[in-house]
A = this chain, B = another copy of it.
Amino acid sequence: MPNEREHKTDRNGRICSPDALRDLNIPWILETIQEAVQPCFGKGQQANYIPALAEVDPRQFGMAVTTIDGAEYAVGAADTPFSIQSISKVFTLILALNLEGEQLWSRIGREPSGNPFNSLVQLEYEKGIPRNPFINAGAIVTVDRVYSHVQNFKALFLDFMRFLADSDRIDYDQEVMRSEQATGHINYALAHFLKAHGTIETAVEELLPAYFYQCSVSMTCSELARAFVCLANQGLSPVVQESIVTERRAKRINSLMLTCGMYDAVGNFAYRVGLPSKSGVGGGIAAIVPGVMAITVWSPELDLSGNSVAGVRALELFTDMTGLSVF
């Protein structure tokens, strides 16, 4: 049972100093948060454009932490798999940067978009160069980059996730993928537009199934936290004891998550939470405390920007309680 007295807190209820970090009672913090987010249930709507997502029980909440020392903590439904959706874009970006290096940026920008994640408008004004790798158009380009280097994108992506999370259980969800394929007309529109501008090389009919595949991968909060912790640890994974990405790239991916990772609510999220994060319409959010830990949270109900209501609140509580924000 967590013990509140273990912490010295200031009058805002916050743990006092960075030095106190090593004594952080993470289990108690996670349990406190789990309790505090209960009133969020019913305040959002789960994604309904994909039938397979609409059928998930909405009132679930899970949260997990993996520290750079490899310690793991979890609360609630942290071992329930959910559709990672756009969170997958971070890993394709890692793969694309490792394969192409900085020349990737000749095909994608690094600026926040100021538009919905699936907007065609900015893509038209900027002549087929997506603003960043986390809007759909940009993610389609990163998939194209990886796709053009490897034999079997799907197998590669799945193996990468299993390796990072140290879990062979991970798989994609056939039903979700079928739904995405059947309803993904906007993504087809984006991909054809990119093809018209020469930004992608792969044929649209080949590429989009690969994109839908990565979005339909199912993972748990605990697995995602293990997969993300390398970005908190200068690119080195304490889980698999390997360098996943260079230190410089890890920092840069964090910066992209902070400026572009939360759909059209990046500014608001940075203001309230202040951690590099990436969310998905499956209700998951992964956040990085550089030099400290990866935090993942999942709850299916989304706000109008497409971010998990309870997830955003949980991360806000976490930074309020611990003072751990990059600012």
Q: Which A residues contact B (CB, under 8 angstroms)?
A: 109-115, 119-125, 131-132, 185-186, 188-193, 195-196, 204, 250-252, 254-256, 258-260, 264-268, 270-272, 274, 276, 290, 325-327
Contact = CB atoms under 8 A, between A and B. Distances in A.
B185 A110 contact: no
Contacts of A271: 110, 252, 255-256
12 contacts: A110-B268, A111-B112, A121-B121, A132-B267, A186-B192, A255-B274, A256-B267, A259-B266, A259-B267, A259-B270, A290-B326, A326-B326
A290 B276 CA distance: 15
Contact of A258 (B185, B265, B270): B270
User: Which secondary structure dominates chain A's binding surface?
Assistant: helix
A325 B251 contact: yes
Nearest to A198: B185
B268 A111 contact: yes
- Closest 10 A/B residue pairs (Cβ): A114-B114, A112-B112, A185-B196, A326-B326, A189-B192, A111-B267, A254-B327, A188-B192, A255-B270, A110-B267
Contacts of A326: 290, 326-327
